[in-house]
Structure 1
Amino acid sequence: MKILFVSATATEILPLMGFLDKSAIKKDENFYSFHQNDIYILITGPGLMSMTFAMTQFGSLNKIDLAINIGIAGTFDPDCMLGSVCNVYRDKIADLGAEFPDGSFQDIFEMKLTDKDEFPFKDGWVYSNSKTDVFHDLPKVSGVTVNMVSGNLSTIEKIKIKYRPDIESMEGAGFFYVCNLLHIPCLQIRSISNYIEPRNKANWKINDAVKNLNDTLIQFLADDYLNENA
């Protein structure tokens, strides 16, 4: 298989790269051979624009059998354990649209600027399109992607009421969008670093989230699934 791991930052994927440096054959910068599988690493930079540009400029994209967007995320669910890992099955941009004088918001689908069911959208969402169930043990969650991370109660409540998401990131919808348009099987695997609340980084568990995320990915690489599908 040819597998592409996509991360917004090096920090979020550094342990996996360390594992590959020790356990795989390094064929080029951010390109490895592991158990007869080609493993590519793409670090895009944070945000939708960086993600979209980096994905479309990746030269081997049309050869990829599975693309996996990995990273940390915030959760809207107060019962979700910090550091837990989840499988994002759908995503959408939560702040692309127009704000009105009364404080209400309409997204581009409600404004009739884009058809909510025009490919690759389904009711305004973009979905994981991978048929693999290799991460079947992870909880499936619904995500939103934002340009401005939610940090006050008003913004948080508006997003929760409008979209009922489980998690929030800054890149996920862009990743799904590119992969679906180019017909590349894709997954989005994230770990929870913080609760989405009035911003207070003292409460965040970034190190735990990064460790647990990368442990999950390393286990995926070591699993027989890769040998069976090489």
Structure 2
Amino acid sequence: MKKLILVENLGVNYARFSYENLSIDILIYGIGSGMATYELTKVLNSHKYDLVLQYGRCYALKDHPEKNQLVCIIDDYFGDLGFGNANDFTSIFDLNLRSKNEIPFKEETLENDLIFSELFQDIKKVSGITCNSIPLNLQDISNSYLKNHPDVISREAANLLYVCLKEKVKIIQLYYVLDRVENLNYNNKFSDEMSDAIILNLEAFLLELPLLKIN
């Protein structure tokens, strides 16, 4: 990370850096799906980007992935976009308020087809579900869970994937597993382990970035 050189501040928690011969903008969007969606959309509308590399936090819904593991979300689903709760939940797709295959959806699910075979080979690829409110157990999202049998749950992954798919901007979503969802800690803060994992991954990515054919 020492090779990142600050070029200019572009806004609140938003700055441009140089890395060798590359220009890299870093945005810290904070917690909350609505806020994150707004911040990313504003940035994508103000500058042209070849790739978005997004880091976030999630909870595991199964035994794997394990706690403190970095995973790559390759498809996601809006788990609370509808009416009702738990077993009585009905999505807007089930109610035919939106088509299940309306672009960029594929059978209600958002799929990220961007895969660099030479990158992140040791990172588990997972399916995700996004909910504004993280439930304490799978029973609370039982109907939604059946849509794509997700491995992890987050607050904003589907929102940001949706924005990038609509804007036709490539995105890679890497999420740090805080714990199993039943062990959810409301006071969960950024840990040294999470920071170290993200920094190590970002450093490896930056080393490989000049070799990638993104366009």
TM-score of the superposed pair, with normalisation by structure 2: 0.85
CA drift at 1:226: 1.9
Letter matched to residue 124 of structure 1: E
CA drift at 1:60: 6.3
- Tell me how far apart the structure 2 counterparts of residues 89 and 210 of structure 1 sit (CA, whole Å): 22
2:171 matches 1:212: no
Range 63-72 or range 132-141, more displaced: 132-141
1:74-131 deviation digits (Å, cap 9, x = unpaired): 111224321111110011110110117x941111111111101010111111122425
2:101 matches 1:117: yes
CA contact (8 A) 2:3 2:20 kept: no
| Residue aligning to 1:13 | none
Q: Which runs of 5+ in 1 are unaligned?
A: 1-18
| Residue aligning to 2:12 | none
- Tell me how far apart the structure 1 counterparts of residues 138 and 115 of structure 2 sit (CA, whole Å): 37
- Tell me how far apart the structure 1 counterparts of residues 187 and 163 of structure 2 sit (CA, whole Å): 34
Q: Secondary structure at the match of 1:82?
A: coil
CA contact (8 A) 1:150 1:156 kept: yes
| Residue aligning to 1:76 | 61
Range 35-44 or range 140-149, more displaced: 35-44
CA 70–202 in structure 1, closer or farther in 2 if over 3 Å, else same: closer
CA contact (8 A) 1:44 1:51 kept: yes
Aligned residues: 208
- Tell me how far apart the structure 2 counterparts of residues 211 and 24 of structure 1 sit (CA, whole Å): 17
Letter matched to residue 80 of structure 1: P
CA RMSD of aligned residues (A): 2.6
| Residue aligning to 1:58 | 43
2:5 matches 1:25: yes
Identity of aligned residues (%): 26
- Tell me how far apart the structure 2 counterparts of residues 172 and 96 of structure 1 sit (CA, whole Å): 14
CA contact (8 A) 1:152 1:199 kept: no
CA 60–157 in structure 1, closer or farther in 2 if over 3 Å, else same: closer
| Residue aligning to 1:179 | 164
CA 72–198 in structure 1, closer or farther in 2 if over 3 Å, else same: closer
CA contact (8 A) 1:97 1:106 kept: yes
CA contact (8 A) 2:136 2:182 kept: yes
TM-score of the superposed pair, with normalisation by structure 1: 0.80
- Tell me how far apart the structure 2 counterparts of residues 229 and 28 of structure 1 sit (CA, whole Å): 26
Letter matched to residue 106 of structure 1: T
Q: Which runs of 5+ in 2 are unaligned?
A: 10-14
CA drift at 1:50: 1.0
Q: Aligned to 2:126, which of 141, 161, 164? A: 141
Range 30-39 or range 151-160, more displaced: 151-160
| Residue aligning to 2:84 | 99
